[in-house]
Amino acid sequence: MLRFNPGPGGVRQMSSDARAFWLREPGVGEIRSAPLREPGPDDVLVRTLCSGVSRGTETLVFRGGVPASQYAAMRAPFQEGHFPGPVKYGYLSVGVAERGPPELRGRTVFCLYPHQTAYVVPAQAVIVVPEGVPSERAVLAGTVETAVNALWDAAPLVGDRVTVVGAGMVGCCVARLLTRFPGVRVTLVDVDATKADVAAALGVVFSLPADAADGQDLVVHTSSTSAGLQHSLELLVAEGTVIDLSWYGDAEIHLSLGGAFHSGRLGIRASQVGTVSAARRGRRTPAERLALALDLLRDPAFDALITGSTPFDDLPDVMARLAGGSLPALCHTVSYGER
């Protein structure tokens, strides 16, 4: 329960049992108390319903794999602490706005906030989840937003042959959005044969790397491995481009460019969600991009990406298992229940 107590000088301060997940040091997570300030007139108090683990990025952070040169670039919007730790990190949160402007009060909202039972943020930092989008599916908004930005960068054309290499959260979201383009043939490639079921649920063809067809007009790479990026180049038609969404952290990536890279005039282009794609910059704001992602989540096919759930109190152990690979998952959700 949230309550208000007089603070120093008689100023009302909010006290609560709000708690947050922190990375104490690489490989060690813990639950900490999270004091909440009293909401101002332009703030909203959110009681969390569920959050999602962005598996690739968050497990890299959990392992301490963010290079020092990228500490500033990798900061999450409401991050506390600093890399490599202690740090409170995450950005896929859905909850109910319990206090705030009338148009938000009582609504289910999405926020780029870490794993925490309740929080106070500026009202402009949340966006209402559309009717018909369940809370657990809505945690994918940040990942679908990344996919939207990537496709603005990639600009696929009607009838293109497109392969997505890497069937993680981002790759699966890209693959599903590509099915909306007329005539586009989409193949999802992964080394894990069990991803075939997810591909089928998303309405795309699945292939193991050895069986993937070449001659692709566009390849989107999301596997975060040297082998995946190398294979992506090998699948391209002449003058084709790889759009690379992978975040490699402090890992060294090695490529062999002595084959068709030069003769085929192949391209590698990075895409990431930190800024709106140049193709839409000045015409779309980050808030509009996120609103589009939430609207696209009306599609129930995205439920195939929700592969597990755990209570908030178990998150330190679960994050360690996700980072260590003993708990396979696409999007693992965190449930908060009643407090």
pLDDT above 70 for 237? yes
Contact yes or no for 294/110 (Cβ under 8 A) = yes
Tokens of 108: 């289910």
Residue 218's closest CA among 151, 295, 125? 151
Residue 83 pLDDT: 97
Q: Under CATH, which architecture does the 3-140+297-335 domain have?
A: Alpha-Beta Complex (3.90)
Helix (H, G, I), strand (E, B) or coil at 337: coil
Domain ranges of the chain: 3-140+297-335, 143-270
Q: For 150-156, what is the mean pLDDT? A: 96
Q: What is the DSSP letter of 101?
A: -
Q: What is the band of 1 on the pLDDT scale with cuts at 50, 70, 90? A: very low
Q: What is the pLDDT of residue 16?
A: 62
Helix (H, G, I), strand (E, B) or coil at 241: strand
Which pLDDT score is estimated for 4? 42
Q: Which of 15-19, 172-176, 261-265, 321-325 has the lowest mean pLDDT?
A: 15-19
DSSP for 137-150, written as a single string: HHTTHHHHHHHHHH
Q: What local confidence, expressed as pLDDT, does residue 11 receive?
A: 36
Q: What is the pLDDT of residues 327-337, one digit of tens each?
A: 888 999 999 97
pLDDT tens track for 33-63: 999 999 999 999 999 999 999 888 899 999 9
Over residues 303-322, mean pLDDT: 96
| 143-270 to CATH, choices 3.40.250.10, 1.10.260.40, 3.40.50.720, 1.10.1040.10 | 3.40.50.720
Tokens of 79: 């991050």
Q: Averaged over 250-273, what is the pLDDT?
A: 90
The mean predicted confidence, pLDDT, of the chain is 92
Cα–Cα distance measured from residue 104 to residue 122, given in angstroms and rounded to the nearest whole number: 12
Q: Rounded to whole angstroms, how far apart are CA atoms 321 and 116?
A: 20
pLDDT of residue 338: 54
